[in-house]
A and B are shown apart, each in its own frame.
Chain A
């Protein structure tokens, strides 16, 4: 956003704060609903769904902090998720931690994932676009294969988590609130980054990296910082996930569908928006779980998931949030025009309907 675009909005202070109040109260309502959810639906299946969804909200928002803001599409996020999982799994096993003490390892999951992101970033962030995507996929397979082949990862059979002797009826609740805390913190971090100078640098890189460099953005440093933050949060989510699932195999820790789901959630909700990926996760993860339960045929649910994916890409290419906010802005503009004390001239024509997507300058060629 350029400064000139900010100023006119700032002048209409009262309305803006009205909208902000609306947004804040909406967020508070969602947060309150999330907090009371396990009390309203104590059924373990419901809290399991809730936990799953919150983990994906955190992971998709973390993915968005790097990929959404910088435009570098990372399809290897499972590397950090799996690293977090294996860090706590190996730590708990080798240091023989039991009971609640295992949760002391969680920060380590984030730190190790972040530490791994540095060398990966040094290699991958030198290239752009397709090559970057492919390198992240290659990293993903390297890590999956390492988990299979090394002895300390437990190989194909994986590792089993220490048993937590919690009461069965409320077993899920601490996990649920832990994931809720993580998801809320991730969204807060994402919001802070987006409105900071750092976030502006990231989006400048997304729009035109060479020009951003020319204007003094230290592109490598900025990209690396976002990559590491994203990896840290994803690693934390992985650690929490491990204790909940209580076991890990290479294929579940490093799952290609995990990478894809994050990207789909980001695109569905709105790439590069603060709440878009969270909204995407909130809608898509329960939908996917529901599909799997509804159609006991696993393959049919996979086909439907792919079809849903395609529909989103073809018909909602910019995501739910940007499309919706465009519609609302257009509606408000039309509304205001109609109510305004107009001159005798014919009523102002309604603004043109929002284009489904912003045309690129070089859109002449679309094969």
Chain B
């Protein structure tokens, strides 16, 4: 059994890094805008298809292609924020923004179906199939590369948030939007840029997802968003550290349970969420204020 558990844990940690990248975008958007971007799942799939188009039709390497897809997704995020999210106001804004994001997700899913059809495709490169041997078991190169990419990007977001002027404005807006505005922060700009950044990481997340998941289709968005939501809620909405810890914990748990029964692994995943929230309603690292809202 042990010779199965260790690889499963390593897989879980490496895969958890990829999910952490996608979850950070989601939790960042929540922290600043107080909305849950349920389109994040399908945006990851859009990012994966962008990488697919670049690598299949233009023969651009998956990682080099990110130089194109990340800015493209950033622009898409800013456009979504300006046209759909920002016009919403009023007392029902929370529910409305959730539904608006859902509408965006439906439109994007339909568009992907229309362009690419319902078939499962996968990203391939020389390093996707090959693997190396460590201590008696195999690890794919792509998992390691994607994990490194995720770590670099999460570190970049961390530096942006905690070591830059813009990051200070973002954190101020997360703490208290009214006070942030009073000290001269343009919170609409902060919100638009944060939404853009939150969506831009899905380009990298989508590439990593597409290369490590073994295949994706326009339908993959539902599965992704439900996992991402479980992760950010478990970590505590708005908590970046919580999102990192929760993704590694949840994906490792799923991977380990998957040794016994792959079908039930994902159920355990949601059951863990329900269990944690029953005991501690604001999540593992959540701010108490989130619950009191």
Contact = CB atoms under 8 A, between A and B. Distances in A.
Interface string B242-253: 000000000000
Contact of B281 (A126, A307, A366): A126
A357 B271 CA distance: 39
A31 interface: no
Contact of B110 (A267, A302, A357, A367): A302
Instruction: Give the bracket for the number of chain B residues in contact with chain A.
Output: 35 or more
Interface string A157-170: 00000000000000
A360 B90 contact: yes
Contacts of B86: 366-367
Nearest to B238: A130
A361 B229 CA distance: 29
B106 A309 contact: yes
A133 interface: yes
Q: At the interface, is chain B mostly helix, strand, loop or mixed?
A: helix
B250 to A, nearest CB: 12
A30 B95 CA distance: 31
B70 interface: no
Q: With a 10 A CB-CB cut-off, give which of A138, A358, A359, A363 has the most chain B CB atoms.
A: A138
Contact of A367 (B32, B103, B237): B32
B199 to A, nearest CB: 15
Interface in A326-367: 357-360, 362-367
Interface string A109-145: 0000000000000010011111101110111011001
A284 to B, nearest CB: 13
Interface in B206-220: none
Contacts of A263: 99
Contact of B90 (A129, A134, A302, A357): A357
B239 to A, nearest CB: 13
B175 interface: no
A68 to B, nearest CB: 11
A359 B93 CA distance: 11
Contacts of B85: 367
A133 B101 CA distance: 13
Contacts of A366: 86, 88-89, 93
A253 B283 CA distance: 30
Nearest to B273: A138
Contact of B291 (A128, A309, A314): A128
A40 B225 CA distance: 45
A73 interface: yes
Given A123-B274, A145-B266, A359 B100 contact: no
B152 to A, nearest CB: 28
B219 to A, nearest CB: 10
Given A134-B36, A358-B90, A310 B103 contact: yes
Given A142-B270, A365-B177, A365-B187, A260 B106 contact: yes
B255 to A, nearest CB: 17
A367 B33 contact: yes
In order of increasing CB-CB distance, the 8 nearest A-B pairs are A367-B191, A306-B106, A302-B110, A306-B107, A303-B110, A309-B103, A357-B90, A299-B114
Interface of B: 30, 32-34, 36, 84-96, 98-100, 102-107, 109-111, 113-114, 173, 177-178, 181, 187-188, 190-192, 222, 226, 229-230, 233, 237, 263-264, 266-267, 270-271, 273-274, 277-278, 281-283, 290-293
